Amino acid sequence: MYGMTAVSAFAPAQRPISGMLWMLLAGLCFVGVTGVVRYLGTTLPAAQSAFIRFAWGVVFLIPALLPILRQGLPKGSVPLFLGRGVVHTGAVIFWFYAMARIPVAEVTAIGYLNPVLVTLGAVVFFGERLAWRRVAAVGVAAVGALIVLRPGLRAVTDGHLAQLCAAVLFAGSYLFANQLSRMVGAGTVVAMLSLTVTLGLAPLAWAVWVPVSLTQAGWLALVAGFATAGHYAMTRAFRAAPLSVTQPVTFLQLIWATALGALAFGEPVDPYVIVGGAVIIGAISYITWREARVLRAAVSPAVVAET
């Protein structure tokens, strides 16, 4: 989330090792999510799989949701929550669709475009300045995406296009979260996301509903558990260390996803995906490091004056 990321990125790096370990755990959890969804494949429609996963998430978050709903939401926040729910609903449908059709590593690598798209969205919708260094980093990330996709050299499938759409919509969701984070706490943002996305997915899932076995429902409950644990671990990582420390660790998620795809699903290891993913992560890490330096330079005089 753009606003939350900005705050976390400039927090004092008091426990960098702890932050890196929490980010490692988050990456493993998210690889677990992709692995289970890949395992389920196309046995369930994307909208139905996503609905069941988020419905489990609502079950897990009931203790947090009930007090939020009883207390009520701040004025002006409801349209933002609903808007984010609509955008995120589309994002998860595209993601589930892509995950069942293209290799795990490719889904992960393309997903790395998310922070870059958030940066561009902040410029378009919030009027933030895009310095030439950030422009260059965005261009490098785009090159990384082209290395992964290699249009013209191989077929770009509907699964690849779905994951690109998912990345764009997830970025939009994070921009909504940026605004909401100024009005409510992080727990409320997460809990309301699960509720609104579940409601948004319900009619879409009903339209394509097929019988669900207890085994499939159980696997999707595991997906919800992995996702919840991953977001918790990521939050702990952000609190322990700035993004300039934890961001490069996310590249290991691509390594694990590649290993999972090769060992569990017999997907060939594609060196272009590894290289492209590394290029994207490098660009994101540079943007994060550069923004941290700029903010430190701006804050330092104020700190000296107060001292």
Distance (Å, whole) CA 251 – CA 273: 12
Residue 54 DSSP one-character state: H
Is residue 26 within 8 A of residue 233, CB to CB? The reply is yes
> What is the secondary structure of 290-304 as a DSSP string?
HHHHHHHHHHHHHHH
Distance (Å, whole) CA 91 – CA 162: 9
Structure-token match 């705050």, residue found? 7
**Environment class of 184 (CB within 10 Å of its CB; exposed 0-12, middle 13-18, buried 19+):** middle
Provide the pLDDT for residue 243: 64
Provide the pLDDT for residue 12: 45
pLDDT in tens, 40-67: 988 999 999 999 999 999 998 899 899 9
Distance (Å, whole) CA 102 – CA 32: 16
Provide the pLDDT for residue 229: 87
Is residue 100 within 8 A of residue 38, CB to CB? The reply is yes
Distance (Å, whole) CA 45 – CA 120: 32
Burial 252-285 (b: 16+ CB within 10 A, else e): bbbbbbbebbbeeeebeebebbbebbbbbbbbbb
pLDDT in tens, 81-103: 999 999 999 999 999 999 988 99
Task: State in Å, rounded, how far the first CA of the chain is from the last one.
Answer: 32
**pTM given for the model:** 0.82
Torsion 199-201-203-206 (CA) sign: negative
Q: DSSP E strands: which ranges in the chain?
A: none
Provide the pLDDT for residue 158: 94
In the chain, which residues have pLDDT < 50? 1-13, 299-307
Provide the pLDDT for residue 205: 96
Q: Which residues contact 52 (CB under 8 A, 6 or more apart)?
A: 44, 205, 212, 216, 217, 220
- Residue 204: Cβ within 10 Å count: 18
195: β partners? none
